[in-house]
């Protein structure tokens, strides 16, 4: 990501955008917006003043008010950035990345240190930008469960090497650990016949097995027809589980 942003010069290899080699970083900056290593602004200027200044550099015709509204901090337009919370700075960082209406967004750790409400807001915004504005969004994050909620495709890296990559929806449909929780002791024979696994806990009762999403629905349907209904079903955090397999 730092290479894409022009912060690091590669010693070897090629930098490609939409299959074409980039001769200079000015090319990618014409079509991409960046949020790298956390936002930084002129702290004694307010949110509007910071964006107006950056807008001149990007030669952007968008309304600053619209940008602030889009990221949910229009109420803080005249508030100095030094008084911003971390979440407000993250939102302002997304706003500056959107200057110039780029077709590509590159976001480095956008969810770090955020409270649940702000994190959910940014997740919803990212999904909206992809779905409604047709933006390609590249996110780097160690918060893998958060990425599961927003990503279409994934790449898992460890020590500079690609260990897994592909469609997240296809990955989710593979077999993964599923835990079924019951208020009372379930009929073990039924569980073993329909979803072979192990009783991981008895207080409360928890049956663990490996199933795909479609298999999980089918199994629950069979159990329900026999009056065996779990009160909770948990699937493992898929990307986190896969990453832990990689680093072992």
What mean pLDDT comes out for the span 25-35? 75
- CATH superfamily of this structure's domain 16-151: P-loop containing nucleotide triphosphate hydrolases (3.40.50.300)
Query: 42-76, pLDDT tens digit by residue?
Result: 999 999 999 999 988 877 777 899 999 999 999 99
Which phi-psi region, left, alpha or beta, contains residue 226 (left: φ > 0; alpha: ψ -120 to 50)? alpha
Higher-pLDDT residue of 1 and 199 is 199
Q: Residue 105: what pLDDT?
A: 94
Query: Do 173-247 and 16-151 fall under one CATH topology?
Result: no
Most confident of 23-37, 212-226, 230-244: 212-226
Q: Kindly tell me if the per-residue pLDDT of 30 is higher than 90.
A: no
Q: Where are the domains of the chain?
A: 16-151, 173-247
Out of 9-18, 59-68, 127-136, 154-163, least confident range: 9-18
If pLDDT is split at 50, 70 and 90, which confidence band does 27 have? low
pTM of the model: 0.78
Q: Can you read off the two tokens belonging to residue 81?
A: 């950035």
Q: Residue 25: what pLDDT?
A: 56
Dump the DSSP string for 137-177: EEEE-S-HHHHHHH-SEEEEEETTEEEEEEEHHHHHTS-EE
Q: Residue 157: what pLDDT?
A: 87
Q: Residue 36: what pLDDT?
A: 86
Q: Residue 24: what pLDDT?
A: 58
Task: Evaluate whether the domain defined by 173-247 bears CATH number 3.10.310.
Answer: no
Q: Kindly tell me if the per-residue pLDDT of 20 is higher than 80.
A: no
Out of 27-36, 112-121, 137-146, least confident range: 27-36
CA gap 49, 52 in Å, rounded: 5
Q: Residue 85: what pLDDT?
A: 92
**Strand order from edge to edge, sheet including 32-35:** 32-35, 104-108, 136-140
Compute the mean pLDDT over every residue in the chain, rounded to the nearest whole number.
Answer: 88
């Amino acid at each position: 990501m730092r290479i894409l942003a022009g912060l690091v010069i590669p010693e070897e290899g090629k930098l490609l955008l939409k299959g074409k080699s980039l001769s200079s970083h000015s090319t990618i900056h014409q079509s991409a917006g960046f949020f790298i290593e956390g936002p930084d602004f002129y702290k004694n200027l307010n949110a509007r003043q910071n964006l107006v200044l950056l807008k001149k550099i990007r030669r952007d015709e968008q309304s600053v008010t619209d940008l602030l509204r889009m990221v949910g901090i229009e109420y803080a337009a005249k508030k100095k950035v030094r008084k911003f919370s971390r979440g407000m700075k993250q939102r302002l960082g997304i706003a500056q990345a959107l200057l110039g209406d780029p077709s590509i967004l590159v976001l480095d750790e956008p969810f770090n240190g955020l409270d649940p409400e702000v994190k959910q807001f940014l997740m919803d915004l990212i999904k909206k930008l992809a779905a409604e504005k047709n933006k390609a969004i590249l996110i780097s994050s160690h918060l893998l469960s958060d990425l599961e909620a927003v990503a279409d495709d994934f790449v898992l890296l460890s020590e500079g090497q690609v260990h897994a990559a592909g469609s997240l929806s296809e990955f989710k449909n593979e077999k993964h650990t599923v835990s079924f929780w019951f208020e009372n002791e379930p009929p073990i024979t039924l569980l073993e016949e329909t979803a072979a696994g192990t009783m991981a806990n008895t207080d409360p009762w928890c049956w663990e097995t490996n199933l795909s999403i479609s298999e999980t629905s089918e199994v629950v349907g069979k159990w329900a027809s026999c009056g065996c209904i779990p009160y909770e079903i948990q699937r493992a955090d898929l990307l986190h589980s896969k990453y832990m397999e990689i680093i072992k």
